[in-house]
Amino acid sequence: MLSGMLTRQPVGDEWESAIRVGSTRRMTFVGNLRRTLSAVAVVAALAGAGCASNKLDTSALNPDPPSKMFANADAKMSSGSFDDAAKQFEAVDREHPYSPEARKSIVMAAYAYYRAGKTPEAIASAERYVALHPGTKEAPMAHHIIAMSYFDDLKTANRDQTAARKALEQFKILRTRFPESEYSRDADNKIRICMDNLAAQEMEVGRYYLNQHNYVAAINRFKTVVSDYQTTAHVEEALARLVESYMALGVVTEAQNAAAILGHNYPDSKWYKDSYALLQSGGVGPRDDSGSWLSKAWKSVPKFGLGSG
């Protein structure tokens, strides 16, 4: 009886359970097999395609050579498509950063953006160039692009003279660091214009303070013109306004010295005539004072484009 119990075969519900388990295992095996065969088929198809062409398609990994990309960008420049040219020049540097064309493509992108009227992008590209390649042959061009980008904003500038200051800085770099470059020859005239803008702004503020009887603040503005912008046409008026401001404060010796410098350098100026008359009304006349700040600040430098008012 014990032997019969040990060898009892499954019956009824036990058979059905066993059948279900076996069926599930077979289905899982078949599913796995099908997926494996599908993957093998895909790999085989790809391998076959590769064999048919005898090489893998690597066009996405290997763009056009830098010389061809640069030439295409240059052609865009010649056709007047400056924005497209800038983007293509940037692509040269981005995709071939160690190529000989990469360096020049940065400054050419800056120039293309400048021609397209996109001055912020032009400045950014040119500044990147001078930061990476400050001593190369294209460096003067990069500085000139920065300078001209700011210089072009002078016509829209009013009280904010940031553009004039930044343009002046770049033009001075061209004149001092790259005196033999073709861009340096254009710098002198642009420097005069920038300095004239800056001096005009100082004079405008100085006159405002003078009209408000804030003589100390006015003097500080006129002093800046005399000290920093002597080569502009505004220096005559600045000296005359110093005479007026010092007389108003009762600092007669400084007024006399300012008038003396004005008369010595611009004897036919109407500003000198007005200053002389003002001193005479106070019973004094022009008188040099070598110890004055004004005498020390005054520099004997050529006066570019100065004329009598």
Over the stretch 35-76, which tens digit does the pLDDT of each residue have?
A: 554 544 444 444 444 444 444 444 455 578 999 999 999 999
SS3 annotation, the chain: CHHHHHCCCCCCHHHHHHHHHHHHHHHHHHHHHHHHHHHHHHHHHHHHHHHHHCCCCCCCCCCCCHHHHHHHHHHHHHCCCHHHHHHHHHHHHHHCCCCHHHHHHHHHHHHHHHHCCCHHHHHHHHHHHHHHCCCCCCHHHHHHHHHHHHHCCHHHCCCCCHHHHHHHHHHHHHHHHCCCCCCHHHHHHHHHHHHHHHHHHHHHHHHHHHHCCCHHHHHHHHHHHHHHCCCCCCHHHHHHHHHHHHHHHCCHHHHHHHHHHHHHHCCCCHHHHHHHHHHHHCCCCCCCCCCCHHHHHCCCCCCCCCCCC
**Residue 207 and residue 274 share a domain:** yes
Higher pLDDT, 157 or 271: 271
Residue-wise pLDDT for 148-202, tens only, equals: 999 998 865 567 889 999 999 999 999 999 999 999 988 999 999 999 999 999 9
Which residue type, as a one-letter code, is found at position 242? L
**Among 219, 249, 235, residue whose Cα is nearest residue 299:** 235
Considering the domain architecture, whether residues 161 and 207 belong to the same structural domain is answered as no
Residue 76 sits in the same domain as residue 169: yes
Both structure tokens of 77:
């420049």
Of 148, 182, 216, the residue at which a domain comes to its end is 182
Same domain, 178 and 210: no
The 10s digit of each residue's pLDDT in 108-156 is 999 999 999 999 999 999 999 999 999 999 999 999 999 999 999 886 5
pTM of the model: 0.73
In a domain, 8, yes or no: no
Q: CA-CA distance, 239 to 228, in Å (whole number)?
A: 13
CATH number at residue 71: 1.25.40.10
The tokens of 117 are what? Answer: 């009227």
- Considering all CA atoms of the chain, what is the largest pairwise distance in Å, rounded to the nearest integer? 150
In a domain, 128, yes or no: yes
15 lies in some domain: no
177 with 96, same domain: the answer is yes
Indicate the number of domains in the chain. 2
Same domain as 126, residue 74: yes
Residue 288 belongs to some domain of the structure: yes
**Domain boundary residue, one of 120, 153, 182:** 182
Q: Is 76 left (phi over 0), alpha (psi -120 to 50) or beta?
A: alpha
In a domain? residue 188: no
Domain coverage including residue 176: 66-182
Residue 6 lies in a domain: no
Q: Which is higher by pLDDT, 29 or 131?
A: 131
Q: Among 154, 182, 210, where does a domain finish?
A: 182
Least confident segment among 102-116, 248-262, 292-306: 292-306
